[in-house]
Structure 1
Amino acid sequence: MNQRALLMVLGLSFLVMGCSSQPKNINNVCSMFDENYDWYEAASDVQKKWGVPIHVTMAFIHQESKFVSDAKPPRSTFLWIFPGPRPSSAYGYAQALDETWDHYISKTKNYGADRDDFDDAVDFIGWYNYTSHKRNGISKWNAKHLYLAYHEGHGGYSRRTYNKKKWLLKVSDKVQRRASQYLRQYKTCKADLDRGWFSRTFL
């Protein structure tokens, strides 16, 4: 392959990698990372920076947005027909609220971070779960309880407000199962992913 052709392939590959469309198979973490290798790099950076495992971070995004970059809570309806307001300001991959996102930026100095940017969203999840670990003593591998703190806030988690919400407990169990599934899958493809994007693509 001559130099010009290689540069064209690289350019097209980066263009595809930059797309924010939902992955084809959101139930398989290896498939998602194969389709979006930059997501693997971002999730790996989060693990190194905040100590939150890749499979936990990805399970959070599956639950919150199904990997849709501009996801928002569905609107309520007025008179069963007309669209009403949304129940919250949650937005993006991590479904972060306006005020929580602003707090994240203030604490991390990650100015310019966007909720519909995957790298920023996973960093937010890593930061929040790291804070849950520090404030609430939750293991960074415990997806269930990290999610309860994510949903209820650190104060709410300390007060165990989640015990009054059976539906939330079911959802947190679902997140734990998803994280366990992703971990099993990740173990089968980690070695290949760690070869790097260039080696996997051209060698």
Structure 2
Amino acid sequence: MFYIKATRLTVAVLCGLLLSACAHRSKPQNIDDVCAIFRENPRWYHEIKDSIDRWGGPIHVPMSIIYQESAFRAGAKPKMQFFLGVIPTGRPSDAYGYAQALKSTWREYQTAVGSRSPDRDDFGDAVDFVLWYMDVSYKRNAVSKWDAYGQYLNYHEGQGGYSRGTHLKKPWLINTAKRVDARAKRFATQLGQCRAELETMKRGWFW
């Protein structure tokens, strides 16, 4: 009898963990409200705080960049391209995950963090990548980590491209960076209203 009860309990726990893991990887219901995002995914709030302790910077800037890059979809990829609108010719890059990180840049990040084995479709790893990249942009191009506009231009063009001014010939990118900056400011305002609440949330015992 004890064995049967223990087995049922184990199965129940495993099912709960599986469902929680699936929910953790699903797109948040309201991506325009950073407080709602963190309420739905308390672990994300603690993960981004851990990364800020490591690299420095605010919460609202990397969250706005991730919003722009993937809309918080774990398996996001660039759109498939088609020849004559019918024949698939592949994707424009190997960008993947929450941060839409390229494989080559991701390898640089892996080297920077040492022995960790980060995954591009894991939010904690992705946001750590973004904050690492922001730290590099700050060190190489003196772009403040609170400057969402400048940080996004570095993120999109690379630090070398930004220093050469490649973004200046791309009006569409300038407009996108402005949207990222406006969204970051909204996120900052929202965080000011729920920060105390978020600080009381726990990661979740199963993590």
CA distance, structure 1, for counterparts of residue 123 and residue 16 of structure 2: 19
Q: Distance in 2 between matches of 1:181 and 1:146?
A: 17
Contact 1:61–1:94 (8 Å) recurs in 2: yes
Letter in 2 for 1:16: S
Q: TM-score, normalization: structure 2?
A: 0.87
Which structure has the larger Rg? 2
Distance change (3 Å), C-alpha of 1:134 and 1:182: same
Tell me the amino acid that sits aligned with residue 160 of structure 1: G
CA distance in structure 2 between the aligned counterparts of 1:110 and 1:88, rounded to whole angstroms: 26
The Cα shift of 1:16 comes to: 2.2
Which residue of the other structure, out of 66, 69, 75, is the alignment partner of 1:64?
A: 69
CA–CA distance in 1 between the matches of 2:26 and 2:92? 25
RMSD: 2.1
CA distance in 2, matches of 1:73, 1:51: 29
TM-score, structure 1 as length reference:
0.89
Give the superposition deviation at 1:75.
Answer: 0.8
Shift of 1:17: 5.7
Q: How does 1:61-100 map to 2 (within 5 A)?
A: 61-100=66-105
> Taking CA–CA contacts closer than 8 Å with sequence separation of 6 or more, which of the two structures ends up with the larger relative contact order?
2
Which residue does the alignment assign to 1:183? 188
**In the aligned structure 1, how far is the partner of 2:196 from the partner of 2:26?**
26
> Alpha-carbon deviation of 1:64?
0.2
The letter for the 2-side match of 1:173 is K
Aligned to 1:50: 55
Looking at structure 2, the residues matched to 12 and 178 of structure 1 have their Cα atoms a distance apart, in angstroms, of 34
Structure 2 gaps, min length 5: 1-8
1:169 maps to 2:174: yes
| 1:15 Cα deviation from its structure 2 partner | 4.7
Is 1:124 aligned to residue 129 of structure 2?
yes
- Asked if the contact 1:17/1:37 (under 8 Å) is kept, the reply is no
Contiguous gaps of at least 5 residues in structure 1: none
Q: Which amino acid aligns with 2:50?
A: D
- Aligned residue number for residue 197 of structure 1: 202
Partner of 2:43: 38
CA–CA distance in structure 2, aligned partners of residues 23 and 128 of structure 1:
24
Which residue number in structure 2 is paired with residue 114 of structure 1?
Answer: 119
Instruction: Give yes or no for contact 1:46–1:122 (8 Å, CA) kept in 2.
Output: yes
Identical residues among aligned pairs (%): 46
1: CA distance between counterparts of 2:98 and 2:133?
A: 14
| C-alpha displacement of 1:107 | 1.7
Flag the 1:144–1:198 CA change in 2: closer, same or farther, 3 A. closer
Distance 1:117 1:176 in 2: 24
In 2, Cα distance between equivalents of 1:136 and 1:195: 36
| 1:16 equivalent in structure 2 | 20
